[in-house]
Structure 1
Amino acid sequence: MNRSFKIYVYPHRRNDPFANVLLPVGSEPGGNYASESYFKKVLMSSYFITKDPTKADLFFLPFAIASLRHDPRIGVGGIKDFIKDYILNISQKYPYWNRTGGADHFYVACHSVGRSAMDKANEVKFNAIQVVCSSTYFHPGYIAHKDACMPQIWPRKGVLPNLSSSNRKKLAFFAGKINSPVREKLLQVWRNDTEIFAHYGRLTTPYADELLGSKFCLHVKGYEVNTARIADSLYYGCVPVIIADYYDLPFADVLNWKSFSINVATLDIPLLKKILKRFSFEEYLMLQRNALKVRKHFQWHLSPVDYDAFYMVMYELWLRRSSVRLPLNAFVHPN
């Protein structure tokens, strides 16, 4: 992959009226949806980029959903029309989209609005590769073997902490907004438990301390299947417990999730304590050791590091590239 994988990015100038959504952000990405900006910023300065489209394996559609969402000229309500117009523009200006109907193109989006943003551009939804955080195969617009999951990661700097499990006194921990029936059920059953700490609203203790003090950390479906809690758990050496049905987990083509996490069906929330206590201390330690091994895959760096989140996403794209290329001279551009 490193030797031969090439990506062409549709070019845009800095004086483009929408340069703010088509070019990488100038500042360092931050916040819950930083994965989208990190990937784009690192990709654009990487050796995977080619300026020769005839050498490209894939074509990157560089619009930033997070930036479109906050642009007062567009906003959430105008994103669908912006994407529709963008695809129409590149299909008329360049021959590459039309050769495959967009099948060798991809875009990235971490905010959930990214999926609905394609509602007026069905060729993007059904042909192009969608690299999204809200990767659920419950919705027909996401096709697991074609599309890929990008992990939602809160940016953190510095060396990964060296952790031990000796001071983890809580069995499990969750904190977050109650914005889904799944979270409502979790709070209903476990709110007053002495071993499973299920909390909503503002914490009175540091979030990091709660993760460091718990054996298992609960990733519970909210408005979407994805949150940054999996990456948070791994960063602090807490074994993730995934309570989000139909979640196409990040890097599932590569990682054996059963070796470092536990998946609990939403219907089994009342059995959560029983399920977690089935694991012996030795089995738990094995899960935690494996969690510490894979957490390097859930880190962003502005200068990418081997096997970090950037390279993992690139490998997912590499797996989805097509080996069939149509020659440019086989395509007749419309007048």
Structure 2
Amino acid sequence: MKTGTATRRLLPCVFILSVCLLLYSILFLLNSGNVALPEPVIKLTPVKGAAVSATEVQRLPTPWLTPYVNDGHDVSSSSGTTQGCGSYACRTNQEAIKVFMYDLPPQFHFGLLGWEPREDESWPDVRQEVPSYPGGLTHQHSVEYWLTLDLLSSNSSCVEVGLCNAVRVHNSNDADVIFVPFFASLSYNLDSKLTKKKGRVSKDRKLQDKLVEFLMGREEWKRRDGRDHLIVAHHPNSLLRAREKLAPAMFVVADFGRTPVRIANLEKDIVAPYRHVVTTIASNDSLKFENRSTLLYFQGEIYRKDGGIIRQVLYYLFKKQKDVHFTSGRFHKNGAKEASQGMASSKFCLNLVGDTPSSNRLFDSIASLCIPVIISDSIELPFEDVLDYSEFCIFISESDALKPEFVMNLLRGIGSDEWNRMWRRIKEVAHHFEYHYPSQPGDSVQMIWEAVRRKLEMSSARLKYHRAKRFHRHH
């Protein structure tokens, strides 16, 4: 009887000792270096002109990142391309849309960037090399570039990170949407001007005509009269010659300022963010209300045509305000740096109607964590069916803005509590307005694909609700 009792008492001790020995053995093996374990993703290398700082990498949503084993490739490059990659894994979203992408000749896409294919190539091998996009203001309309890269990498076991909201398929019969990889904004920026050398028709116009001819002859276009096609025309002047003929398609645009509603409208088309030109600032408590000395910031062209006349009026209303920075200035070599510093030290940043309803300043403001003040009655905003902009932007109608002291009284009446609340919200949504390669969960690339999916589902109720709230909070 005594022997049995002693045995029962020893059993817990033996169990605890066994567990300790097992844990010790595992730790010994880990420290010995004989067991190969996946290393965490510690570096993401974007294309030239789209640098991601160390602070930005640190604040990426790491639970979404899939571990990879370092395969020895150098993922950094000082040349004009991004080279190499780790072994990233794409976890396809169950609701991911299936996208068929035309194999257009390089002259429509990466050929505009100087890429020349080898005999066996239709596209760059994005696992090894990514042609770089021009910097400066040209980069603000680079939407089609990022979407094309995302599709090219969606079937790769090497490039993608996190969830894919769109996956490339190679049979158009399997697709939810047909993507047209024409870099229309870049073509306009590079080749729309006529010179004696180019002749009477610009290269951009010739490409538009070729694109229309190509699409009109495709069975995919004829099947639904192009209504399931996705075409990016983000620059307001891009694809102007071809838009009417391609009107049934879904367009990805910056706004609808120069396009008749019968050609482009919110019912079928998607508004995408500009790629901002200022440096993204990391979340920093020292950049809150009390540490921003400038009340209101604007720098840009003051004398504009069309609706931009409001800029002149506001300039004369604000120029004597000591805590307002409202000056004329074009984008130049140090322009982005100056704007970054100015916006980061300002409480509010003006986004004014100009030649078109939208401008890149809204997205520069968001990247600077500067509360946007939007004065543009006809502006359309990216992803407004899922984002309530009244939570982090201030909307002022053009008629109210022209009233003496209206804007100043409104802004001076917003105290630190209200401003900090909006500031916290803008920090939460800022990543939705960033373009990445590889794309990241919730960034602009993935948000655009999600917007395409919602268009396919014809969901617009929440968009109407958020649009109705624009002027509600502060009026």
TM bucket by the smaller chain?
Answer: 0.7 to 0.9
SS at match of 1:122: coil
1:102 deviates by 0.8
Distance 1:33 1:18 in 2: 15
Give, as a single letter, the amino acid of the residue that structure 2 aligns with 1:170: T
Structure 1 position 41 matched with structure 2 position 161: no
> CA separation of 1:316/1:63 partners in 2, compared to 1, >3 Å: closer, same or farther?
same
Structure 1 position 148 matched with structure 2 position 270: yes
Structure 1 position 301 matched with structure 2 position 433: no
Structure 2 partner of 1:86? 211
Matches within 5 A, 1:135-214: 135-136=256-257, 139-140=260-261, 141-154=263-276, 160-163=282-285, 164-165=287-288, 166-178=290-302, 179=304, 180-201=308-329, 206-214=338-346
Say which structure, 1 or 2, has more relative contact order (CA 8 Å, 6+ apart): 1
Which runs of 5 or more structure 2 residues have no equivalent in the other structure?
1-91, 114-122, 125-129, 156-166, 193-197, 459-475
Distance 2:134 2:153 in 1: 15
Distance 2:364 2:400 in 1: 23
1:109 deviates by 2.5
Structure 2 partner of 1:258? 390
Give, as a single letter, the amino acid of the residue that structure 1 aligns with 2:347: K
**TM-score, length basis structure 2:** 0.61
SS at match of 1:142: coil
SS at match of 1:171: strand
State how many pairs are aligned: 318
1:284 deviates by 1.3
Structure 1 position 7 matched with structure 2 position 99: yes
1:145 deviates by 1.8
- What is the CA deviation profile of residues 27-80 of structure 1, one whole-angstrom value per residue up to 9, with x for unaligned ones? 145333433223333333225111111111111111111232213769995645
1:254 deviates by 1.1
Give, as a single letter, the amino acid of the residue that structure 2 aligns with 1:186: L
Matches within 5 A, 1:227-266: 227-266=359-398
1:264 deviates by 1.1
User: Retained in 1: the 8 A contact 2:278–2:364?
Assistant: no
Structure 1 position 128 matched with structure 2 position 249: yes
Structure 2 partner of 1:332? none
User: Retained in 1: the 8 A contact 2:179–2:231?
Assistant: yes
> CA separation of 1:18/1:299 partners in 2, compared to 1, >3 Å: closer, same or farther?
closer
Distance 2:131 2:300 in 1: 30
Structure 2 partner of 1:110? 234
**TM-score, length basis structure 1:** 0.84
Structure 1 position 56 matched with structure 2 position 175: yes
Distance 2:271 2:199 in 1: 26
> CA separation of 1:255/1:45 partners in 2, compared to 1, >3 Å: closer, same or farther?
same
Give, as a single letter, the amino acid of the residue that structure 1 aligns with 2:292: R
SS at match of 2:137: coil
User: Retained in 2: the 8 A contact 1:135–1:249?
Assistant: no
User: Retained in 2: the 8 A contact 1:135–1:226?
Assistant: no
> CA separation of 1:135/1:76 partners in 2, compared to 1, >3 Å: closer, same or farther?
farther
Distance 2:382 2:284 in 1: 24
User: Retained in 2: the 8 A contact 1:132–1:150?
Assistant: yes
Give, as a single letter, the amino acid of the residue that structure 2 aligns with 1:26: P
Structure 1 position 267 matched with structure 2 position 267: no
User: Retained in 1: the 8 A contact 2:435–2:444?
Assistant: yes
Larger Rg: 1 or 2?
Answer: 2
> CA separation of 1:175/1:21 partners in 2, compared to 1, >3 Å: closer, same or farther?
same
Structure 2 partner of 1:97? 221
Q: Work out the percentage of aligned pairs sharing the same amino acid.
A: 25
